Structure 1
């Protein structure tokens, strides 16, 4: 029993380390995006990050869905659903107002049915939570989710509405993360295969840098097959190939993440604040024209990556959690409050 608890504790520490590295990569990708049209190096790194960082984050969310499972053993947490819904409504409103008055980004649809920028993840996360109990009743939930991820590419409308395309495209990784405890001793595998993973990752990045033809729209997961320029009935097979490429890159990344508790673990506990707040700062910098002077010189890439790391560390500071946690993660239980309101006393009065 103690061995099992130790293994679970090690896995939890490892996942927390993964979270911090991933959120640093999220900020890095968003920091690089304004200059990818002017820098081949930035574009290569951008595609390399996008190849695995969304699937990896979805996998982590799937793992945490099991960790936060209600005490009664059910797979449905009303509080988790309510908090995610609250965060989506709150930040969709805040980002929309900020865009309308300050950012003025092009191509933005101001609607609660069209998630603003990175907020698609909240919308999809809410859907993954709702879909999970249904899929876990299936005999092969992972296979079913992969087939659905391929099928959603054939819908005849914009896949960005309600983040429907990304929800189903990335859902297989959520299922995989939820079943993560069944994967055996990953720590031993990481120690044994880390060198190979580094080499494989280097090959993938080199291939991207040498011009591997890969439309980043496939990596975003937000576009349908027709939007990606594929109209043939068999085009869904391309999504299966992207799944294989993403799984390979994701595996390489996971094998390279350290398992020991460190400062990464402490920072990894506050990734939510980085995720929800960093967009305001980067979009404000874009609106202020701070990226306009970066013309794609080689030294601009490490400058942007350093700025991304500094921003990640600042927003991971305990002071941010202290002042932001109360309104970003409110402590309420909607089901408990509902039950208390409708509870009936023994004398028959409410």
Structure 2
């Protein structure tokens, strides 16, 4: 069972209810977050195999089309109640900003030592590897009141993403290309309502998802040797990928549409009832950030240099290992061990506002 106050990758920094009764968590979203984080780990395990295996490359492309968009849409959905109240800002700082700083330091030290790059610079403005999502979530959530106020939030955010895709001068500060190019998924999540998720939970949607996902895999198999997979990272402009600027607009629209279709297929297959892994959905941030050390360490320590890894049996074994590792890192014992870094209370750092003081006196 989930413990009170537990947060995860998708709703990290979202506000906690001021008083009981606490709303019961929907197992559908916890299941979706756990399954999506498993796909993230599998994608990282497949990445070094793409040069030798067209099948691994096709799976990699397909998964990268929807796994982060799914997370970001759910993050937006969980951010609908966010405003600038002090308690919500504190939770955003302790649940997103502080873990970002701590893991940016930890990843930098890891690269300097295990990565044999002792001169790698430390910079809070240049997120390394997985920490980009935390800084992006911080920025997106701070802008939530804006998206609630404007008349056409999703088209506006999509226009911003298209402009980013043709703006090579944005630079690497705060990984703004990713922040802006993934923005439409977050804004879409803000605008979704429970009934929208009910549409993909119908039996018809589950059946339709089978041929759609099969078609996506076939297309990815065809496109694997022909397409630059960097488009799926959303971290570069079209010009930086060696393409004319107009392709950035076309690819932004095309990939937004493709990602939404595959996200819908993925969500259609997510179980709606409590499963053995449902509780692990509350620990996705732990699995996400901690598995990065093994994902990068596998490259630093040349684990992929062994020939058996590049055989079909080796690829299957790596997939199972990735699933096992990420599942373990989402479990309650790991959460208890690393909660000081990912869910610090930090009551000493903040003043209590008048509303909180009044509640305390009432109790």
Pair in the same fold by TM > 0.5: yes
TM-score (norm 2): 0.83
Q: In the TM superposition, what is the alpha-carbon distance from 1:19 to its structure 2 partner? A: 0.3
Give the direction of change, closer, same or farther, for the CA distance of 1:328–1:16 in structure 2 (3 Å limit): same
Residues 115 and 297, structure 2, Cα contact 8 Å, conserved in 1: yes
Which ranges in structure 1 are unaligned for 5 or more consecutive residues?
1-7, 344-350
Change over 3 Å in CA distance of 1:154–1:316 after alignment to 2 = same
Cα distance, 1:193–1:339 mapped onto 2, change above 3 Å: closer
Give a deviation string over 1:310-345, Cα, whole Å, max 9, x none.
Answer: 1012112211011111222101358852658xx9xx
Separation (CA, whole Å) in 1 of partners of 2:110 and 2:57: 27
Equivalent in 26, 30, 36 of residue 22 of structure 1: 36
Partner of 1:239: 252
Q: By how many angstroms is 1:237 displaced? A: 2.3
Partner of 1:321: 335
Cα–Cα, structure 1 residues 106 and 200, in superposed 2: closer, same or farther, change >3 Å?
A: farther
Query: Aligned residue for 1:347?
Result: none
The one of 299, 310, 335 aligned to 2:313: 299
Answering whether residue 272 of structure 2 is matched by residue 259 of structure 1, we say: yes
**How far apart, CA to CA, are the structure 1 residues paired with 2:328 and 2:295?**
13
Corresponding residue number in structure 1 for 2:322: 308
Matched residues, number: 330
In 1, distance between residues paired with 2:29 and 2:335? 20
Separation (CA, whole Å) in 1 of partners of 2:189 and 2:264: 12
Consecutive unaligned residues of structure 2, counting only runs of 5 or more, are 1-22, 358-363
Give the whole-Å Cα distance in 1 for the aligned partners of 2:119 and 2:164: 23
C-alpha deviation, 1:171, in angstroms: 1.1
Question: 2:199–2:205: 8 Å Cα contact kept in structure 1?
Answer: no
Q: Measure how far apart 1:21 and its partner are.
A: 0.3
After the TM superposition, which of the residue ranges 215-224 and 150-159 deviates more from structure 2? 150-159
Structure 2 distance, partners of 1:17, 1:311, is 17
Write out per-residue CA displacement over residues 145-201 of structure 1, whole angstroms, 9 at most, x where no aligned residue.
111111111223265431111111111111122222254461675322201112100
Match of 1:220 among 233, 239, 244: 233
Compute the displacement of 1:66 (Å).
2.8
Measured on the aligned residues, the alpha-carbon RMSD in Å equals 2.7
- Which of 147, 171, 175 is residue 187 of structure 2 equivalent to? 175
